[in-house]
Amino acid sequence: MSCLSLLQRPLYRVGTVRSLSITSNHDGLEIDQREGLRIIKLNRPKKLNAFNKSMYVGLREELKLAASDSNTVITVVTGAGEYFSSGNDLNMFEKIPQTEDELREMAEESRDMLQKFVESFIQFPKPLVGVVNGPAIGIGGSILGLMDLVYASDRATFSFPFVRLGQGPEGCSSYTFPRLMGPAKAAELLYFGRKVDALEGEHLGLVTRVIPHQELENIWEELVEYSKLPKQSLLNCKELIRGVQQETLAAVNRKECDLLLEQWASPETFKAVQNMFLKKKK
């Protein structure tokens, strides 16, 4: 583990499950190992767990570590505080683009970062679970379609305001959502950004099971027990169910990101970005 530049803290008890806290090299993430279960927690509660550069890069690298760790059987992504994730942090880029060329360069950087981030979910070889503790917005919700199971608090909501913000689907949601929900239901969420609660998310197929918020902590011991199942059988199940989709998902991811690049680099976006930064400076 030392070659992965991780610092480990002493073991402590969580209920009947031994837990090992692992310090991530990336701000905004907290890692916890409970026997065969690795929990990656989005930990910027004051920012509603909005994704910044550190979290985009960090979560991608933490998934690689979980994939290569022989002790990890099941991996979970969850959130700290009231939100699972509010989507992108609008303060991610502090430099004000002065020209359309500079905006294009910033847009290309964002495209590459998003594409690599989503690829890490597509390629993850082990069972991947979302435990959604609160609202999931934008990229914070679209990545759930790439997870194998999603357990949601009854306080969770899901919204995808892509079009309203002049953007487009991301996280392969243009592919996964219609297959989970049917094209018409997915269109209402992706075109119009209609917010749905946890129970409707379960009905649509985005959520595996809704859990009363006060009982959400009980899911950890349940998942630890699942992590004791025969590891290779779990990996084979994942490969059979998800492996055949990898090439298609990779192509969808590239197309989504390329379309987003063109929208981010447009003259309209250039004006909007400049206005946003100017308002921040006042």
Tell me what pLDDT residue 150 has. Answer: 98
Distances (CA, A) of 145 to 59, 72, 117, 142, 148: 17, 22, 14, 6, 8
- 260, 266, 272, 273 alpha-carbon torsion, rounded to 10°: 70
Average of pLDDT values for 51-67?
Answer: 96
Q: Give the 3-state secondary structure of residue 24.
A: coil
Q: What is the pLDDT of residues 115-124, one digit of tens each?
A: 999 999 999 9
Token code pair at residue 62: 């933490």
pLDDT higher than 70, residue 16: no
Tell me what pLDDT residue 2 has. Answer: 33
Fold of 2-281: 2-enoyl-CoA Hydratase; Chain A, domain 1 (3.90.226)
**d(Cα 280, Cα 48) in Å, to the nearest integer?**
19
Which residue's structure tokens are 């002065």?
A: 98
Q: Please give, one letter per residue, the 3-state secondary structure of 186-201.
A: HHHHHHHCCCEEHHHH
Extended beta strands in the chain, E state: 7-14, 17-23, 29-34, 37-42, 74-79, 128-132, 136-137, 149-153, 157-159, 196-197, 209-211
Q: What is the pLDDT of residues 160-202, one digit of tens each?
A: 999 888 889 999 999 999 999 999 999 999 999 999 999 999 9
Q: What is the pLDDT of residues 70-90, one digit of tens each?
A: 999 999 999 999 999 999 987
